[in-house]
Amino acid sequence: MHPLSALPAVSASADAGLTPHTSRPSPPASSASAVRRARPAERRRAGSGKSFQRFLPWIAPLAILALWQAASSLNWVSPGTLPPPTSVFGAAGDLLASGELQRGIAVSLGRIAAGFGIGATLGLVLGFLVGMSKVAEGLVDRTLQMVRVVPHLALVPLMIAWFGIGEEPKIILVAMGTLFPVYLNTVNGIKNVDARLIQLGQAYGLGRWELIRDVILMGAMPSILTGIRYSLGVAWLTLVVAETINAQDGIGFIAQNAREMMRNDRVILAILIYSFAGLLADQLTRLVEARILRWHTSYRPQGDQS
């Protein structure tokens, strides 16, 4: 006999005057139709709310663009000092037609990729060593903290004296700007992993490498990705300075060349390209962050907190 067969479920239902399949009365037909009518309205409200949320971040940039155009059109600001957006877009069209803009963007992206790859890799490796080992912390951390407080942009003349005006100083400066945010956030993330999670992993018999991969790395990942997001912003900021000093190509060279020719529309175009490139890098990092941390409560879709 199945153990559940001994439970008096059916007889209790009979005593209550209900059959097992009708233990809860069905809602009236009028209530059910009202619910069906309400659901499309709720979906429309939810859809309009999501559309507004997607449009909300663009309100301020569009308002600034409109105010900028109005200020130039109404001669509140001299067009020679602050060219209107139409002039900036026209400059972008000219540079696109000549191919100069595409080449400059490609060169700058290559520098960012190389410098960020070197700096982030070093930051992750050193951060894991210091976070996991007291010996490595004693050997490395104090030296890195001393180097960190030196403004890396102040090293531009020295880099040019050491490596000339080629690609090396630009990539090294970007790598230096990238290294420390990743390093600090990696160390902080590892040290703040809940010790109870580590003990639980050990109790389940996880080996050392499994414990590092499945518990420590995952626990430190939010802090690591925050460091990567911050370091991408620093990388673009560093590149702006590096490319305006003895650069022969890239977005910074376009801006520098435009400054010498008094083409403020191209200077503003270069600034806008830098800002949009930084925004795009941040948004891509957010997408990676949401995918890697989909197990985290802060990154689950709303309503899916189970």
Reply yes or no on whether the pLDDT at 184 is more than 80. yes
Q: What number of helices (H) and strands (E) belong to the chain?
A: 14, 0
Reply yes or no on whether the pLDDT at 117 is more than 90. yes
- Residues near 159 by Cβ (< 8 Å), separated by ≥ 6? 168, 169, 172, 173
Rounded CA separation 91/93 (Å): 5
Reply yes or no on whether the pLDDT at 243 is more than 50. yes
User: In the structure, what pLDDT confidence band is assigned to residue 276 with cuts at 50, 70 and 90?
Assistant: confident
Reply yes or no on whether the pLDDT at 215 is more than 60. yes
Reply yes or no on whether the pLDDT at 181 is more than 90. yes
Rounded CA separation 187/201 (Å): 20
> Which tens digits make up the pLDDT trace of 120-129?
999 999 999 9
Task: Note whether 168 and 114 are within 8 A (CB).
Answer: no
Task: Please name the amino acid found at residue 20.
Answer: P
Average pLDDT, the chain: 78
Q: Which two tokens stand for residue 47?
A: 């859809």
> Which tens digits make up the pLDDT trace of 19-35?
444 445 555 555 555 54
Q: Where are the domains of the chain?
A: 121-294
Q: What integer pLDDT is reported at residue 113 of this predicted model? A: 93
Reply yes or no on whether the pLDDT at 207 is more than 80. no
Neighbour-count burial for 175-208, b at 16+ CB within 10 Å, e otherwise: bbbbbbbbbbbbbbbbeebeeeebeebeeeebee
Q: What integer pLDDT is reported at residue 31 of this predicted model? A: 53
- CATH class in words for 121-294: mainly alpha
Highest mean pLDDT among 10-14, 157-161, 173-177 belongs to 173-177
DSSP state of 164: T
Q: What integer pLDDT is reported at residue 277 of this predicted model? A: 86
Within 10 angstroms of residue 172's Cβ, the number of other Cβ atoms is 21
> What is the model's pTM?
0.72
Task: Note whether 83 and 99 are within 8 A (CB).
Answer: no
Q: What integer pLDDT is reported at residue 36 of this predicted model? A: 56
Q: What is the DSSP string of 221-256?
A: HHHHHHHHHHHHHHHHHHHHHHHTSS-SSSHHHHHH
Reply yes or no on whether the pLDDT at 234 is more than 60. yes
